[in-house]
Chains A and B, each alone.
Chain A
């Protein structure tokens, strides 16, 4: 194994997301290479608007506790900082505080003194409205200009932090930095940038490493080491058996990214059009030629709010007469369901929606099935009632239950019964959440919309929070 060179900055990225399952053996292998920091991301909008709107984490507290305990122990053994971005999935204040609480539980158990910097990035609506009024926001395609109504529709709004608040926290002596919503790359880029690594290779390395093992041959092996130097960067998996190849590393720029060559970040654009990917050995890739174009500092906004409520029913159908004409059956059933709801609740019932989705036929696409397609062996028919309140959505489902259960394949047929898997048949799914913001905000500095709080843990039984 080649010994690391002195002018490199090495970042141990133990996984693509906190809570997915870091590996102790991979972390130990990474620590043997003397990294300058451990950094990873803990959030995303990838799984939909519920996490930001509700402030709840996608991963369970137990999963986060397990990973965080391993990482905090590794950090202490190596005496290097630990940086975690987008804590609690959405990175809003309550999600970040929930992660801080877990960190403090672990700190008490591990009994080591700690300086934790907590970087908040949830935004005050009045501040954002003032930004709108000042013309300091801009839409991202396909959105239109931001207005106060979109801001008011959100339960939580976050601005995606860049690396600067992390760097400031580390320079002020933080052992651990827990970040609110942050770009996936910024949390990995912070320490190399702080140590003077060039911006192009740093941001590109961070983009490659931000999903952990996804840039390797075996994504189930989650740990990655990124090493940035004056001329470029190298990427290698932590597990000896895993490999990064020029193909896996370069193709990662396509993943979940609308533009494979240019990535907009706070304060600039990463351009990898001219990047070259070279195999150093059978598991290490070197990348050169990545460029950074500085731009005016902007932060992306994410906001989500609550919508109507839904109640579900699921029924299985194998009746060949139904399966011979699924589209006609669903059209007739839909009409009968709507008629029954209005007959029962009256014409002035609040606006509601009933959606019938035949899994096994065309529920996923919603597109018409080509004429003459062979019938499936069975369908799972999902009923979704959407209404302004949970109570009304459930009333609608219960009113629809007999029709949904017994609707005949054709006029004059005997009354069938389809296959309910549950009793009661209806399931209260809860609220629909919706994204409302797809905009950026201009800031006077990288710190304008960020707030740093220090939590000093000095003794297992005593912690002091400093404002």
Chain B
């Protein structure tokens, strides 16, 4: 019953109520009773719930009997809500025909929402605008409607006023999905074409692949072929999430569900790849497939060298589930053995690091994140570097990745935003009023500059009102130099940075000053120096520790005093010894906090 299927997704900015709305839809359609609901079912990972963001896409099949008396199958495809995962978002969007656009009635349209809505429109989605949180005192639904009309250019006369928290508007949204979102096209008889829009590793079943079938039928026993990867596997199970996993005999054109085929690593099931029947393959794969590459690199080192193997095992385990992150062994003269890891973005990096520490109880040092530079050597040879310390002293040319950043900001904060973008070496390409008091500015900025503290400062100068999105636009030559840090005369490779030469002196001074603040006093004076091309440009020192003594220690509190010492001892363990100097974990990220 293809004509009764509706595939849709929800587009919303962080905190605008996407997960709560998803919960309501599940509840209303009886997929889960309210008793079964743990808050926000779709965000299942602890980390996701804590951060209030959705990291992995999921798909849930809902049964809904509409007022016209027909039973409909509604497939809700959840999407990640962060800029780091925009490719995954695009594949989720490609799997459906409509989007519910949720905008917070008190906040208005944000950059992320806009970017995703444009993407949805590119995928020919029918957009159903929903103004959420209308129960809040600060709600301005009319103003937000106008904003959506002006900013996105879609008709909001039928926008649904809702409060997912209070359950207001849930039925109206379901009805609109049935009425407005077109049923999927495609035929069950054509050769199989199914799009992978997500996959993850399950300890018991292997890789679980989420698919949208465009043509043909997929069923257990079939030998499938991954068209981009060129590999074949035998399908053992197909099914749907209701949201519990439920096996079905087959999935046909227009349907959404999962398949299991004894695959061991998610790296084999690339998001965007097309699945076809090996016995009767489709002629061409579905459009839009891209090999996604990490954009941001950072070194991960165990604080205790003996944890190296554990770290390696943990990285391998995480990689089973996340093919977008990469790691390679790396040696640092300062930090010993570790890994150079590649991430989609900063959030992705933080998530991986936090999972390593939380789920695997590792104590880690993260070096400052960096982008990949394209270097032309003195003999004209071209190579890429993902670690500042590997930049040679002499080279012909260095190029860095640029991104186009779009910022949405209320007019009153525009001055600070422009200043920030200028400071980050940005060149303005766009300046548009999207409504009476909201502006969108576009800037071309080196990716490296937005890694540092761009997002935090964007939020702080706009009191949280500005939002942003960015996309990679290519490599451009830059005047870049390597800034080295020396502790008591010894260079510390893990603290090296690549910076723009115009601000290099200033950054060098800032960096040594910051390091002076985070490196605790030790038994001797520590000289901290910054150098460029062998020339010292800044120096600070951490004076020797003067005093650390317990004045009193008598019978009463010997156990307490022992515990006190043990606590200090634990503190020491979190330090990394580099030569004779002990450096706290956070020192390696201090470089991030250096302002222009």
Q: Do A and B bind each other?
A: no
List residues of chain B with CB under 8 Å of any chain A CB.
Answer: none
